[in-house]
Structure formats: structure tokens, C-alpha cells
């Protein structure tokens, strides 16, 4: 696992400088708010209770060590033994749940342009979300310790919860606490994670299904997941270059950068997959043993499917990082493309930069989500507090701890595919949904496919879907509608009586 690779993975914010963890904040009253609401799904009206509550985690001596402040939405007049409950979070690590909460899953949604344009400045439109997963499942949005309003208390320290294993144990303990507090042990239970939430989700299945907790999950929903860090952008490995190539092709197709644009994107990407598996990856492994004739063929083919010229691929030794691709693809137009969503473009003050200075996608939508959350807390919950909602945890990359399994000097990248496979073997009712965007250059759709194949997950219990959008595919209306339909079917399958 590359140094700092996890802590700067997929948060919609400029990375923070490394700094010492903040001291435990002074004691303040627990946050709480509750209200009755309704949400319309076509002709059906669903009454539900919306709640913000503070739940404590205690250490072995019974002393408070951390408090989770979460928002939940629970259908009224439903049988809790039959009604599923889904625990949702984003990634980072160190991100709050704001993106899934107000972007797709929750009962209200902030509207941003579907066509990859900037959301601009306030005011923003916050509307009832007819695609909310609340139609099928009760919802609990988890802000891990150090994010949102959640934090360490008493003698606890935030950094005690900041690490691959530490985070999974902390969130698992919270889920156990919430389920017990609300009497939901008999309910079908799902975990829904985005981005680094893929790693957290796989490890949560391990932690929850352990003998210490003994909670079997019905479903695991992974949106644009990171599972194997060797296949996430920024890692200088042949497998990373190979799994990114189909997303380069999709991005060039979207921006009209190909010399001849195929009519059918998915058919085009199918041919790119074949090229990667049969020609490109074997050639990278050959290195200097590659013949001049075969190298020339590869360079020309790479140019054809990515829109970049052959000279660029030759000078890059057939290996082009995501950052370099983002800078080069539309350089002639004075533009760079987004990382989390390559449909978005931006301009640099220096058109000769080798890599973009930031991600145009993050700045395009971040302000809308932040403002909408503040509005949601005040108007919907009536929540007034001097406490600041932390969009992301305030830590540097040195704080996030490596897993126990990677403590040795020469241990490599974090890969939770094996943990996911073991969780599915131990619980043969567990089903997995993986959704990815064609234009996501951080956790690519082809990497998701490779992860499923290599981990030898039982395919009859895995639903793998791709959408014509980026990392947060739900900001695109077409993709959001398709994702909602797919998740409805998945949740129904997970919660059906066995």
C-alpha cells in the first residue's frame, strides 16, 4: 500500500497537510432531533420518522470513549422483523456520509446539473427524492468518528478509530449498538458503502459476522468501491495502467477525442477489454523483450482507442498514469478532465502542467452539497447547534494506520477481496452489489470486474452493474434512475424470505 494512498483516496476536498490529531473536544450536550414526515413514491405515500441521535460507544471499563451522531429514516407502521435496514457511509477514508445522504440514498436530494456542468453558487434546490432507497429499506447514515458530528469523548482519542482495522471495528460496534438500541436484530440488514466504503464494507462483513458480534448481513452494496489498492489510480503498477485503459477510452469517447467515434460505447469498451487482456497487459509484462513490430502496433492501437497521439504513448513507455491522461487528453482545447468524474472539465493557469492541480468535479458540486446539508439540518430537523459538521476528518496521511496483516517491512497493497470472499463463504445468504461508472478514473469499472474475478466471489450472488457517469454516478439523472432500479431489485432479493 503506497504511503498516504488510503488517506487521500477519494474525498471531495483538497488534501489537508499532515498535522497532529486534535485534542478531545470539551463535553457538550448530545445532539437530538425527531420528526414525522411523508415521502411519495408514485401513487404510494410512505410515512416515516426522521431522527438525529447521539449514541455512545463505551470502553471495556464502561466509560464513554466515542459518540456517533447519525441521521436515520425509519418507516412507520412497518413490521421491523420484515423491514430491511441499511447502514450507509461514504469513503475517504475520513469522509462524512453527506454525498450518499443528499445525493442519492436519503429522502431528500440536492439537485446539481446532470450534464457535468458546475452547480454554481447558492441558492440550490433541495427536493423530495422519489428514488430514495427508503422505499425498500430503513436508512441509517453513519459519520465515522472525526467526521460529521461524531467524535471521541472522555479519555478516548479520535486517532484510536483511524486506521483500516480500527475503523472497521469502530463502525461495527456502532452498528451493533444501533441495532440493539432500536430492537432491529430480526431485520434484514444491509451495508452500503461508497469508494473507500468498499474496503470498510468488506471488513465490516468480517467484523459483524465474527463471534464477538454474531450479526449476519443480508446484503453488501458497494458504489464505486476501492477493494484492491493496487488497482486505484496513482499506483505505478502494470495492473493499474491496464485496468485504467478502458476508462481512458470511455473518457475519450465522451469528449469526442477519438479520430473515429464508435456509435455504441459499451460495444467499444468490450473491444478495449479484449485488447487489454490479450495484447496490452502481456506486452507490459514483456518490457524490453517486446519486439519493435509489436511495440509499434501497440502504440498505434493505444492512440486509436484513447485519442492521444502515438508519440505520447511511446514517450510514456506504454504506461500513462491517470493524472497524465487527465492533463493530456484535451490539452489542445486548454482543458483538463476530472478524476472522480471525467465528464467534467476545467482550466489551468499553466497549460504546460504535467498533471492537473485539482479535480474539476469536486469544485463543481461540493458547494451545493455543503449548503444543502446545512439547510437540511435546520429546515428538516430543526437542528440548531454551535458544533461544526466536519465534511472530512482532520488528519494527515500519517495518522491512518495500516492493517495488522500489513505490518511487516515489505508488505504490499491492501486488498480486501479475500476478506469479502471469506465473508460470503461463511454467510451463504450474503449478496453483493457493485456499481461503477464508465467515467470514473479513480476506482475504475474494469478494476471492479477484475476484483470480482480474482477474488473468486460466488457470481450467482454478485450483481455487477456499470453506468454512463463517474464515481458519484447518481449526479447524472439517467444513471441515478438506473441505479435506483437496480438497487430496488437487489434489496428485494436480499430481504426475501428464505
What secondary structure does DSSP assign to 300-318, as a single string?
HHHHHHHS--HHHHHHTTT
Separation of alpha carbons 19 and 10, rounded Å: 19
Please give the mean pLDDT across all residues of the chain: 91
Confidence grade of residue 412 (pLDDT, cut at 50, 70, 90) = confident
Question: Is pLDDT above 60 for 3?
Answer: no
State pLDDT tens for residues 268-281. Answer: 999 999 999 999 99
Give me the pLDDT at residue 14, please: 36
**What is the residue whose three cell numbers read 465534511?**
391
Q: How many CA atoms lie within 13 A of 102 on its CB side?
A: 25
pTM: 0.92
| Amino acid 396: pLDDT | 67
Cβ neighbours for 135, distance < 8 A, ≥ 6 positions apart: 39, 41, 44, 46, 488
* Ordered domains of the chain (ranges, CATH): 33-230+365-495 (3.40.50.1820), 236-359 (no CATH)
Give 225: exposed, middle or buried? Use CB within 10 Å, 0-12, 13-18, 19+: buried
Distance CA 444, CA 236 (A): 15
pLDDT in tens, 473-488: 999 999 999 999 999 9
Determine how β-strand 219-223 pairs with β-strand 138-141.
unpaired
pLDDT tier at 27, thresholds 50, 70, 90: low
Using CA atoms in the order 356, 359, 364, 370, what is the torsion angle rounded to 10 degrees? Answer: -140
How confident is the model over 91-125, as pLDDT tens digits?
A: 999 999 999 999 999 999 999 999 999 999 999 99
Per-residue pLDDT tens digits for 334-369: 999 999 999 999 999 888 888 888 899 999 999 999
Give the per-residue pLDDT at 381. Answer: 94
pLDDT at residue 144 is higher than 80: yes
Q: Which position has the grid cell 492537473?
A: 356
Question: Strand pairing partners for 152?
Answer: 66
pLDDT (average), residues 282-308: 96
Q: Are 43 and 126 in contact (CB under 8 A)?
A: no
C-alpha cell at 325: 491522461
Burial class (CB in 10 A: 0-12, 13-18, 19+), 461: middle
On the 0-12 / 13-18 / 19+ scale of CB atoms within 10 A, 444 is buried
**124 and 368 in contact (C-beta within 8 Å)?**
yes
Amino acid at each position: 500500500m503506497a504511503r498516504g494512498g488510503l488517506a487521500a483516496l477519494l474525498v471531495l476536498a483538497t488534501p489537508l497537510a499532515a498535522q497532529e490529531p486534535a485534542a478531545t473536544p470539551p463535553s457538550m450536550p448530545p445532539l437530538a432531533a425527531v420528526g414525522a414526515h411523508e415521502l411519495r413514491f408514485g401513487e404510494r405515500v410512505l410515512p416515516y420518522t426522521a431522527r438525529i441521535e447521539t449514541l455512545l460507544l463505551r470502553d471495556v471499563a464502561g466509560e464513554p470513549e466515542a459518540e456517533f451522531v447519525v441521521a436515520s429514516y425509519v418507516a412507520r407502521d412497518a413490521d421491523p422483523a420484515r423491514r430491511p435496514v441499511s447502514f450507509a457511509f461514504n469513503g475517504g477514508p475520513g469522509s462524512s456520509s453527506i454525498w450518499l445522504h443528499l445525493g442519492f440514498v436519503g429522502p431528500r436530494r440536492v439537485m446539481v446539473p446532470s450534464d457535468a456542468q458546475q452547480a454554481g453558487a447558492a441558492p440550490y434546490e433541495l427536493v423530495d427524492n422519489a428514488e430514495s432507497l427508503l422505499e425498500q429499506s430503513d436508512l441509517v447514515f453513519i459519520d465515522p468518528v472525526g467526521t460529521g458530528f461524531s467524535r471521541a469523548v472522555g479519555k478516548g482519542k479520535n486517532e484510536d478509530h483511524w486506521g483500516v482495522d480500527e475503523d472497521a471495528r469502530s463502525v461495527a460496534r456502532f452498528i451493533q449498538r444501533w441495532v440493539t438500541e432500536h430492537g432491529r436484530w430480526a431485520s434484514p440488514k444491509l451495508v452500503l458503502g461508497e469508494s473507500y466504503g468498499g474496503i470498510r464494507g468488506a471488513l465490516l462483513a468480517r467484523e459483524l459476522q465474527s463471534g464477538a458480534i454474531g450479526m449476519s448481513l443480508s446484503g453488501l452494496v458497494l458504489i464505486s468501491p476501492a477493494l484492491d489498492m493496487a488497482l486505484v489510480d496513482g499506483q505505478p503498477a502494470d495492473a493499474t495502467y491496464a485496468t485504467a485503459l478502458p476508462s481512458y477510452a470511455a473518457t475519450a469517447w465522451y469528449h469526442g477525442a477519438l479520430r473515429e467515434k464508435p456509435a455504441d460505447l459499451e460495444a467499444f469498451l468490450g473491444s478495449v477489454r479484449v485488447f487489454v487482456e490479450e495484447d496490452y497487459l502481456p506486452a507490459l509484462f514483456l518490457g524490453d523483450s517486446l519486439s519493435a513490430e509489436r511495440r509499434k502496433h501497440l502504440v498505434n492501437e493505444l492512440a486509436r482507442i484513447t485519442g492521444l497521439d502515438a508519440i505520447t504513448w511511446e514517450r510514456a513507455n506504454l504506461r500513462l498514469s491517470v493524472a497524465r491522461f487527465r492533463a493530456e487528453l484535451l490539452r489542445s482545447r486548454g482543458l483538463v478532465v476530472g478524476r472522480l468524474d471525467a465528464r467534467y472539465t476545467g482550466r489551468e493557469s499553466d497549460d504546460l502542467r504535467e498533471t492537473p492541480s485539482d479535480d474539476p468535479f469536486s469544485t463543481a458540486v461540493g458547494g451545493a452539497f455543503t449548503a444543502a446539508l446545512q439547510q437540511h439540518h435546520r429546515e428538516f430537523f430543526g437542528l440548531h447547534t454551535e458544533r461544526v459538521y466536519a465534511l472530512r476528518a482532520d488528519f494527515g496521511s500519517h495518522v491512518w494506520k495500516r492493517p495488522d496483516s500489513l505490518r511487516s517491512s515489505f508488505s504490499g497493497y491492501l486488498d480486501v477481496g479475500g476478506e469479502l470472499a471469506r465473508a460470503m463463504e461463511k454467510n451463504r445468504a450474503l449478496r453483493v452489489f457493485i456499481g461503477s461508472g464508465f467515467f470514473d478514473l479513480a476506482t475504475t469499472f474494469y478494476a471492479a470486474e477484475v476484483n470480482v474475478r480474482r477474488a473468486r466471489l460466488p457470481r450467482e450472488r454478485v450483481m455487477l452493474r456499470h453506468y454512463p457517469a463517474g464515481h458519484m454516478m447518481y449526479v447524472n439523472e439517467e444513471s441515478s434512475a438506473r441505479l435506483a432500479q437496480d438497487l430496488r431489485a437487489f434489496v428485494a432479493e436480499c430481504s426475501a424470505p428464505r
